[in-house]
């Protein structure tokens, strides 16, 4: 049985180190060649969820403006990645979803969220606790807690691909 549940803790002293963690997560995704992935991000207002999402998307090659999707619920991005396994380029969609203002379950289908969470795209979801019954099990669940020294960030995998990503992340940290 492949392992599913792994946890990793990171202490990020400032915004730059949160951005570094996001870049490292993007690298781990690229190394694992993961096409579809659900990542949920928890933490109070201003905890750093969007900061981390932006850094992940930048690390995956998104160059344009990355705005917070609070009003639109979803912001889509196209991602192109080189795949060693496929010996070519992999086209993937990434969706930044913010459920802070989500309240009506009808909105779920209206916003097309069911189709987005089809397992083929990268979905980065802020405020997953607003729709616990609708979201599938996350591959990676990230909790950010402000502390006097910056942010305490806990990463927990919920699937074998999530666990593979955390392994990548942990081994990349020991490389430096």
Ligand X SMILES: Nc1ncnc2c1ncn2[C@@H]1O[C@H](COP(=O)(O)OP(=O)(O)OP(=O)(O)O)[C@@H](O)[C@H]1O
Interface residue list for ligand X (CB under 6 A):
12, 14-15, 17-18, 43, 45-51, 100, 126, 150-151
Q: Which of 29, 41, 49, 69 binds Mg ion (CB under 5 A)?
A: 49
- Around Cβ 7, how many Cβ atoms within 10 Å? 11
In the complex, least distance from residue 25 CB atom to Mg ion, rounded to whole angstroms: 16
Per-residue DSSP letters for 140-158? Answer: EEEEEEEETTEEEEEEEE-
Closest CA to 153 of 53, 5, 41, 46: 41
Q: Given candidates 40, 50, 92, 156, which one binds Mg ion under the rule CB under 5 A?
A: 50
Are 153 and 22 in contact, with CB atoms under 8 Å apart?
Answer: no
Residue at shortest CB range from Mg ion? 50
Query: Which among Mg ion, ligand X, none contacts residue 15 (Cβ within 5 to 8 A by kind)?
Result: ligand X
Q: Which DSSP letter does residue 138 get?
A: P
CB of 15: closest distance to ligand X in angstroms? Answer: 4
Closest to 67 measured CA to CA, from 80, 54, 55: 54
Shortest distance in whole angstroms from residue 132 CB to Mg ion: 18
Q: How far is the CB of 110 from Mg ion (least distance, A)?
A: 21
């Amino acid at each position: 049985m492949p392992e599913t549940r792994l946890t990793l803790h990171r202490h990020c002293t400032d915004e730059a180190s949160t951005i570094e963690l996001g870049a490292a997560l993007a690298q781990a995704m690229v190394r694992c060649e993961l096409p579809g992935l659900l990542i949920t991000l928890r933490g109070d207002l201003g905890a750093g969820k969007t900061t981390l999402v932006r850094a992940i998307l930048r690390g995956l090659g998104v160059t344009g403006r990355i705005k917070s999707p609070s009003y639109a619920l979803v912001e889509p991005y196209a991602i192109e990645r080189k795949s060693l396994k496929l010996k070519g380029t992999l086209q993937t969609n990434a969706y930044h979803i913010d459920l802070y203002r989500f309240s009506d379950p009808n909105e779920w289908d209206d916003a097309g969220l069911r189709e987005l969470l089809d397992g083929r795209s990268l979905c980065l979801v802020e405020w997953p606790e607003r729709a616990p019954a609708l979201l599938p099990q996350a591959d990676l669940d990230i909790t950010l807690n402000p502390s006097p020294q910056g942010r305490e960030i806990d990463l927990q995998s919920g699937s074998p691909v999530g666990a593979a990503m955390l392994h990548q992340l942990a081994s990349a940290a020991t490389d430096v």
